[in-house]
Structure 1
Amino acid sequence: MTIYKKPLKIIILGGGIAGLTTALALTKFAPKDAVPRILIFEIRPAPATIGGAVNLTPNALRMLDHLGVFDVIRQRDYGKDIDELEVFDLHGSKLAVSDFKGAEGKGIGNPPFKALRITRGDALKAVLEVIKRQKNIVLMCGKRTLSIKETADDVTITCDDGTYWTSDILMGCDGIHSVTRLQHVDPARKETYTGVCNAFGFARVPRGFEVHFKCTALNFSQRGVMLTSYHDSRMESVYVGALMRVPDIGSRDGWKQVGADAEKTRADILRRFGDAKIPCIRPLIEMTEDFYMWPVFTLSKDGKWSTNRCMLLGDAAHAMPPQGESTGIVFEDTVIFSRCLARWLEKGRPGGHPKEAFAAYERLRKPRIADAFEESRAVIGSVSDAGWLGHTLKTWVVPWYLWFTRKSRDRHFEEDVTRVELGY
């Protein structure tokens, strides 16, 4: 018979989508008599509900369903269901389609899900709603971590207000500029600006405004890629995001462009995409309210994810350029890790520290992340400026690539990592 000691105390650094879903997963998959006590530390005064619109693929929605978040999304009518992603050349031709409907038109996997385009803010609000219902989770905002000290028995963080907190495990879910990584787990592994920036905003469209896509579209030009997508069920607003080469803008978190800077960004986007033969593109750029600039950083492909008592998850461990499944990969990280930790508890905490659980997680996860890194390289290549010949080759390669990789993408969309064998 397994005899549990007192419940684990877990500190999570980062109150964004990665940290919050990690807390939910650790709660859901813990043995019923060993639910951990979790403290989440967020550096901002409140969780940031700004951001662009992400595409949650079927596997991502399946994880949110397991965590109780998908019901909130449906109840609040967040996001827009996506049957397919259409791909266009801005000269006017439709190049390809990436389908989420599945063989019977109901979605992919069991249970079936399609995709959902949703703002980061709405996704975070849904997760926060579920967090509020958990008695074992406390979210503390306005807390900046100054130092991390790990011993054989515990981990202690010291905050800038002079307080210090001790736990059994520290989870670094604090993003690409992770304090957990840079101060403790792998200080030499620095983030690198990719040279690519996402300039994005939202365009309120009048009733009857005609677009060239059903729900969402990738639009290729010689000087970048533009995403245009509805993100609300009433189809009253279009997300406009331009991935393009931009010199280092010197920002860690991105910023909202206002006044003259916003108009400068808009003018740059119009120079790159405004001559599109697709009639709605220029008006959408002109109607977009302000612009946010979000520089895309990445980490090296290989690196250290853990110590004996600290684990990095999400962008803190493996930030990469967006490759269509980035958010879903983070959700799967949290679930697989939580299952590995639960197994360690069920085995009676062998070794006294969770390194066995950490090692099992890394064995399961690192091959998938390596594949995702390779996929992300194609994104950077597609954003690079190209002449007429290079662009023509790109428009030939893209549909071939989507056709060639369809089976592997569908396998990812079908996957339910709550059923994956842990192997230990």
Structure 2
Amino acid sequence: MARAEPPRTAIIIGGGPCGLLTALALTQRSHMTCTVFELCSSHTTFGGAIGIPPSGLQLFGSLGVLEGLLARGNASSKLVWHSLCCADALGPFDMAARSKETTGYGCLRIKRTDMLEVLLEAVAAAGIVVHFGQRLPAIYETHAGVVVSFDEGVIAEATADILLGCDGIHAAVRVLYVNPDRRPMYTGSAGLMGLASAALLTSESADTLRDGIHATMTCEGTFMTVPCRTGSDEFYWAFQRKVPSPNQTEWLNGWDIRSCEEIEELKDVLYGILTCEETHGGKWAAILCDLIDATREMRFYPVYQLPSAPGNRWYRGRILLLGDAAHAMPPHAGQGICMVLEDATLLANLLSVALTPSDTMPEGDGAEEIIGDLFRRYEQGRRSRVEDVARWAIVVIASR
């Protein structure tokens, strides 16, 4: 009996970091043919900054994109803690000192848009096609493969051996096919984030904020600032606090706050928080107020997670979920991009073995059995690690 062919083509739903990294890993390590479909008409123009720890930089290096990221991001690993109740600061601490000594890798902060540009250049160089503006209403399987149809975009239908759902916490792939009953859960915490150009700050404020990562304890939560570009010409800031459960239809993906009136209103709220302590924060509070005043675009977003349970499967048939689509967690563990990289790397390695003829794969195995066994081993290899990190993120969010 002829030996069934392992998967050689993949449809990837989601053109964010997860989808692009997965496409790169599968193309480079498994020599698969991947096509990426993204709902948005172009890659996002806002999304704050992404922190990449040492293990993430190592994995980016293995995919050949580390040099491009380092050229755009900020590699400062110095952390300083502040309190608005006193003038003294705690630190600085080098968060990556041990890793630099043992592995040679530090950490990096980079704008999400800059990361996407680096990844899009890499996938284009690898011959991977990305289709934007593709809305996915239907998925179905046949004996020969998986078929997706689109009701928006230039492509009406696509077929491949497997489909990978890399479309985030509110994943259409999960809702339409893999696990429709599994819904994101609001954590009770919401955040406000913004980007500010150093050119709009006073020279004293800009020079101080360039000096590293600053965490400020306030009466309602922690206010973080980080330089996020080479040369420290732009700063990302984020503030999270407890917020009552939002209206699901309004808060699904957060929203951009673009009008001057709304920006000024939110700035006033933050000004009040930063100056509410008994000593009014002094010089440091004034620097943070200067940062907020220089911010021209903000986003207010709720923090969701996907609760883990034995019945919450990550795959069904020829369709597998990766990244936040499978195991979204609060960002407080600082491991979000690492989870994506680890997902993509393990899947690519398993596919590489499956695509190499060996005596361990019995003749006559159907393609469905081969894919099912591969996806099962993938989930077994990832679930424990993912759940450990998710538990740590919950511990961190509860302590703030």
What TM-score bracket applies, with the shorter chain setting the length? 0.7 to 0.9
Whether 1:369 aligns to 2:386 is yes
Q: What is the distance in 2 between the residues matched to 1:66 and 1:245?
A: 39
Distance in 2 between residues matched to 1:165 and 1:212, nearest whole Å: 48
Partner of 2:316: 307
Counterpart CA distance in 1 for 2:69 and 2:326 is 27
- Is 1:282 the counterpart of 2:289 in the alignment? yes
Deviates more, 1:266-275 or 1:65-74: 266-275
Name which of 218, 222, 226 aligns with 2:223. 226
Q: What stretches of structure 1 move > 4 A for 4+ residues in a row?
A: 2-7, 95-98, 347-350
What is the TM-score of this pair, normalised by structure 2?
Answer: 0.86
Amino acid in structure 1 at the alignment position of 2:239: A
- Give how far 1:81 is off: 0.7
**What is the aligned counterpart of 2:76 among 77, 82, 85?**
82
Task: Within 5 Å, give how 1:161-310 maps onto structure 2.
Answer: 161=152, 163-204=156-197, 205-209=201-205, 210-211=207-208, 214-247=211-244, 248=246, 250-257=250-257, 258-274=259-275, 275-277=280-282, 278-279=284-285, 280-302=287-309, 303-310=312-319
How far the C-alpha of 1:95 sits from its partner, in A, is 4.6
User: Where do 5+ consecutive residues of structure 1 fail to align?
Assistant: 384-424
Q: SS at the partner of 2:138?
A: strand
Which residue does 2:125 correspond to in 1?
133
Deviation at 1:3, TM superposition (A): 8.4
- The verdict on how the C-alpha distance between 1:201 and 1:244 changes in structure 2, with shifts beyond 3 A counting, is same
User: How many pairs are equivalent?
Assistant: 372
CA spacing shift, 1:346–1:377, aligned 2, 3 Å: same
Tell me how far apart the structure 1 counterparts of residues 195 and 349 of structure 2 sit (CA, whole Å): 38
Q: Is the Cα–Cα contact under 8 Å of residues 148 and 155 in structure 1 kept in the other structure?
A: yes
Provide Cα deviations, 1:222-242, integer angstroms capped at 9, x if missing partner.
Answer: 211111111123223221211
The one of 143, 146, 159 equivalent to 2:150 is 159
Per-residue CA deviation, residues 76-101 of structure 1 (Å, 9 max, x unaligned), is x3111122333333324445666344
Letter in 2 for 1:131: V
State percent identity of aligned pairs.
Answer: 29
Which among 81, 99, 107 is matched to residue 94 of structure 2? 99
Hey, what does 1:25 align to over in structure 2? 25
Which consecutive residues of structure 2, in runs of 5 or more, have no partner in the other structure?
A: none
For 1:264, give the aligned amino acid: E
- Cα deviation for residue 152 of structure 1 reads 4.2
- In structure 1, what is the Cα distance between the partners aligned to 2:181 and 2:339? 24
* CA deviation after TM superposition for structure 1 residue 119, in Å: 0.6
User: 2:190 touches 2:302 (CA, 8 Å); kept in 1?
Assistant: yes
What is the aligned-residue RMSD (CA, Å)? 2.4
For residues 220-270 of structure 1, the C-alpha deviation after alignment (integer angstroms, 9 at most, x for no partner) is 222111111111232232212111223416222222212222222222222
8 Å CA contact 1:14–1:40 kept in 2: the answer is yes
Q: TM-score, normalised by structure 1?
A: 0.81
**Structure 1: distance between partners of 2:267 and 2:122:** 37
Contact 2:147 2:158 in 1 (8 A): yes
Instruction: Name the structure 2 match of 1:339.
Output: 349
- TM superposition shift of 1:171: 0.1
